[in-house]
Structure 1
Amino acid sequence: MKSARIFAAASLLAALFTVPLVNCSHALAADAETVQAKEGWYGKRVDDAFVARYAILPKPDGVQIVDSRPTTRKFDPGHIPTAINIPDSQFDKFADQLPQDKNTLLIFYCEGYECMLSHNSAFKAEKLGYTNIRVYAEGYPDWIKKGHMGAVSIPFVKKLLDEKAAITLIDSRPKERKYDKGHIPGAVSLPDSQFDKLAAERLPADKNSALYFYCEGLTCKLSSDSAEKAVKLGYTNVKVVPEGYPLWAKLYGPGPTGENAVSATPAIQQGKETGTITVASFEKIFKEAPESIHIIDVREPQEFAGGTFKGARNIPINTLEKRIDELPADKPIIFVCGAGGRSGEAVDMVKLYKPALKTYFMDADIKWSKDGSYTIVEKK
């Protein structure tokens, strides 16, 4: 009996020491293999930690992340940085976007556990001769849930700009050497090297504001570095635009240069109440860059005639709803009145009927003289 026990123990030890070494890439994917595989899934899978090794700027060589979801509805408004988009439904049409080297690591993903698009595309790539394929089965929802940075496409940025959406687009490149020679229209210059110095001035006060950072394309890491710094400052809606200015220029032509740049335009600082602009912020803009905003005075005509801000336009509050289509959409609108009541109502009305417009008001007591002078006392 004793010899039998000794033999069993020896056999167990031998078995332990003769376990074959696993492939390194399989080891990295071990966590993903603990997920219960579904019928039809691709056999080799990875988790978010594995993908994060390659979803960085500058884009690493020898790997390509592929988003298998629909372009406009899914990829454009949010995807893993450095990923290209080959919708599974159009795989055969766009397969030429895959790397020529069939040994390149391909990582496919889509919309999570219930989504089969990435698995389907992985099998198709395998049939084309690719030999190093993985699927991130948890996909983009898991990527965001795990706290990783999301990315948006250049066409999506163009769409937001055309819609006058309330976003802040930040150019992280050097100002004189890059930004002044051409940038995406409406972008604020905030070089990554000066982020700590200029962030308070150039970024909006509202930490929920949508921030989109870009630089010089997939070989440039300035935008992702700045985006991470913004997150550390407490901003909660931050994304990168990995393809940056080079793709913008290719798709839509060169952007404005330093001669008509907005980098010198002070950023609008929102007050404590939603929809307000601080008095200090307004006065800085009114003094240094009055052409960057529209001022709409919503008082009665006789009040307006008694004095207002230079360049202001009069649309009384009781006529605003009928004249809502007269409001300009190319620049932020600052509504003003004598005490903040009517101008605040104007902001609420525009948010109801034309929410895409950028509108603000001052919660302050304002008095004007006919000569254009004024006094403002911000309410506490």
Structure 2
Amino acid sequence: MKKHLLASAVVAALALIQAGPLATDAAAAEKATENAAEVARADWYHTLVDAAFVAQHAVLPKPEGVLIIDARPSTRKYDPGHIPTAINIPDTQFDKHIDRLPQDKNTLLIFYCDGVECMLSHKSAFKAEKLGYTQVRVYPAGYPDWLASGHIGAISVPYLKKLMDEGAPMTLIDSRPKERKYDKGHIPGAISLPDSQFDKLVDRLPADKASPLYFYCEGLSCKLSSDSAARAVKLGYTNVKVVPEGYPEWVRLYGAGEGAHAAAAPTAPSIGAGKESGSIAVASLETILKEAPGSVHLIDVRDPNEFATGSFPGAINEPVSKLEDRIDALPIDKPIVFFCGAGGRSGEAHDMAKLYKPALVTYFVNADIKWKSDGSYTITEK
């Protein structure tokens, strides 16, 4: 009871403080600040946020310029439940995983752990500040408050695999398009319920509203699973979680899923070279897109917000700004074609792959590409 009251006091005080100009008056804001100071422990980090603030950033596609960090232990806490898009850097291993923090010291870092009695997030926040990060925040009420505030939790792919191996009751839902994605490979045991057809196919969900539901799609650049999960909650399902890293992470960790072998990649047409070394000829690319898109991995290296406005069917998003850290996760079973909107970032991605992982077979599109709202596109070779 004491912990619950303390958490409620912190959340209420933070809500008033963060209202800023929307607070009823300056005296109310000042009083809220005094209340927060009374509630907060002396050894807490000095800049605190609430669930509403975190919710602005815990969205898919994962936004740039912000990183949510779960400071709790991995297997015992993070894997079974965490805030969507959060990465796990246990405070006890902070120094070992500094390389997982962004290079840009102005990146917004939001630390959290297991509630107001947990000091791990505060300790990590002070460490990050000492490293020179200028936008550090702590969500003191943490993951318990996230769930209590009505937000959906996430689980890791390894934890999903553990549940499956144990035979735990669940309904695993693939929210991606059926023919273009699910039929070509999905996590074993998953049912297909495309988000675009959710209302029409909702009878595929179990009748018991307490049944565990786990939604996934195409990774951190895909919002279909989170949208479907929110729909399920509105229908009254009470045990809903998302698997944000989705099918790409499953493939990386455990190999291609069901349907992948039946939908084996077609033989790739010969890849013609473009004018610049390492580039693919536009005519060759267009043939592949039309006749054998599954013969290569199409990787869009633009930022997630650009990717969300349109891309080639079947493409995955790996922003070039993050590619160096993700280089070992790139697929090796088929040639990779990097592309962007003008050829600059795709060429950089190709050069990076050759430098850090020369075994990869990669090409880049040196062209101006424009996508339209109807899914069509134009490509003008340079």
TM-score per shorter chain, which class?
0.5 to 0.7
Quote the offset at 1:98 in angstroms. 1.1
Residue identity opposite 1:161 in structure 2: M
Task: Give yes or no for contact 1:179–1:258 (8 Å, CA) kept in 2.
Answer: no
Residue identity opposite 2:185 in structure 1: G
Match of 2:184 in 1: 181
**For 2:94, which of 91, 101, 117 is the aligned residue?**
91
- 2:132 and 2:34 map into 1 onto residues whose CA distance is 24
Task: Give yes or no for contact 1:153–1:241 (8 Å, CA) kept in 2.
Answer: yes
- 1:229 and 1:45 map into 2 onto residues whose CA distance is 31
Is 1:62 equivalent to 2:65 in the alignment? yes
Q: Secondary structure at the match of 2:252?
A: helix
- 1:34 and 1:59 map into 2 onto residues whose CA distance is 34
- 1:124-135 equivalent positions in 2, closer than 5 A: 124-135=127-138
Is 1:213 equivalent to 2:215 in the alignment? yes
Match of 2:350 in 1: none
* Structure ID, larger Rg: 1
- 1:254 and 1:33 map into 2 onto residues whose CA distance is 55
Residue identity opposite 1:80 in structure 2: I
- 2:101 and 2:152 map into 1 onto residues whose CA distance is 24
Quote the offset at 1:39 in angstroms. 2.1
- The 3 A distance-change label for structure 1 pair 217 and 209 is same
Quote the offset at 1:226 in angstroms. 0.3
- 1:176 and 1:65 map into 2 onto residues whose CA distance is 34
Q: Deviations over 1:235-291 (max 9, x none)?
A: 110001111011111111111117779xxxxxxxxxxxxxxxxxxxxxxxxxxxxxx
Q: Secondary structure at the match of 2:201?
A: helix
Match of 1:234 in 2: 236
Quote the offset at 1:129 in angstroms. 1.2
- 1:221-260 equivalent positions in 2, closer than 5 A: 221-257=223-259
- 1:153 and 1:215 map into 2 onto residues whose CA distance is 13
Task: Give yes or no for contact 1:28–1:46 (8 Å, CA) kept in 2.
Answer: no
- 1:59 and 1:32 map into 2 onto residues whose CA distance is 31
Q: Secondary structure at the match of 2:213?
A: strand
Q: Deviations over 1:163-205 (max 9, x none)?
A: 11100100000011111111111111100001101111x1111
Residue identity opposite 1:167 in structure 2: M
Match of 1:51 in 2: 54
Q: Which structure 1 residue ranges, 5 or more long, are not aligned?
A: 1-22, 262-380
Task: Give yes or no for contact 1:32–1:45 (8 Å, CA) kept in 2.
Answer: no
Q: Secondary structure at the match of 1:196?
A: coil
Task: Give yes or no for contact 2:67–2:86 (8 Å, CA) kept in 1.
Answer: yes
The runs of at least 4 aligned residues of structure 1 exceeding 2 Å deviation read: 23-35, 258-261
Match of 1:297 in 2: none
Residue identity opposite 1:228 in structure 2: A
Residue identity opposite 2:255 in structure 1: G
Q: Which structure 2 residue ranges, 5 or more long, are not aligned?
A: 1-16, 24-28, 264-382
- 1:155 and 1:217 map into 2 onto residues whose CA distance is 14
Match of 1:111 in 2: 114
- 1:258 and 1:95 map into 2 onto residues whose CA distance is 36
Residue identity opposite 2:81 in structure 1: G
Task: Give yes or no for contact 1:41–1:116 (8 Å, CA) kept in 2.
Answer: yes
**For 2:40, which of 34, 37, 40 is the aligned residue?**
37
Task: Give yes or no for contact 2:60–2:221 (8 Å, CA) kept in 1.
Answer: yes
Give the CA RMSD over aligned residues.
2.3
Task: Give yes or no for contact 1:33–1:45 (8 Å, CA) kept in 2.
Answer: no
- 2:33 and 2:112 map into 1 onto residues whose CA distance is 13
Query: With structure 2 as the length reference, what TM-score do the two structures score?
Result: 0.59
Number of residue pairs the alignment of both structures matches = 238
- 2:171 and 2:231 map into 1 onto residues whose CA distance is 15
- The 3 A distance-change label for structure 1 pair 24 and 238 is closer
Task: Give yes or no for contact 1:192–1:225 (8 Å, CA) kept in 2.
Answer: yes
Q: Secondary structure at the match of 1:197?
A: coil
- 1:129 and 1:117 map into 2 onto residues whose CA distance is 19
- The 3 A distance-change label for structure 1 pair 147 and 28 is farther
- 1:1-380 equivalent positions in 2, closer than 5 A: 34-35=35-36, 36-200=39-203, 202-257=204-259
- 1:177 and 1:32 map into 2 onto residues whose CA distance is 53
Task: Give yes or no for contact 2:156–2:245 (8 Å, CA) kept in 1.
Answer: yes
- 2:22 and 2:156 map into 1 onto residues whose CA distance is 29
- 1:79 and 1:107 map into 2 onto residues whose CA distance is 13
Quote the offset at 1:80 in angstroms. 0.4
- 2:103 and 2:223 map into 1 onto residues whose CA distance is 25
- 2:185 and 2:199 map into 1 onto residues whose CA distance is 24
- 2:254 and 2:93 map into 1 onto residues whose CA distance is 25
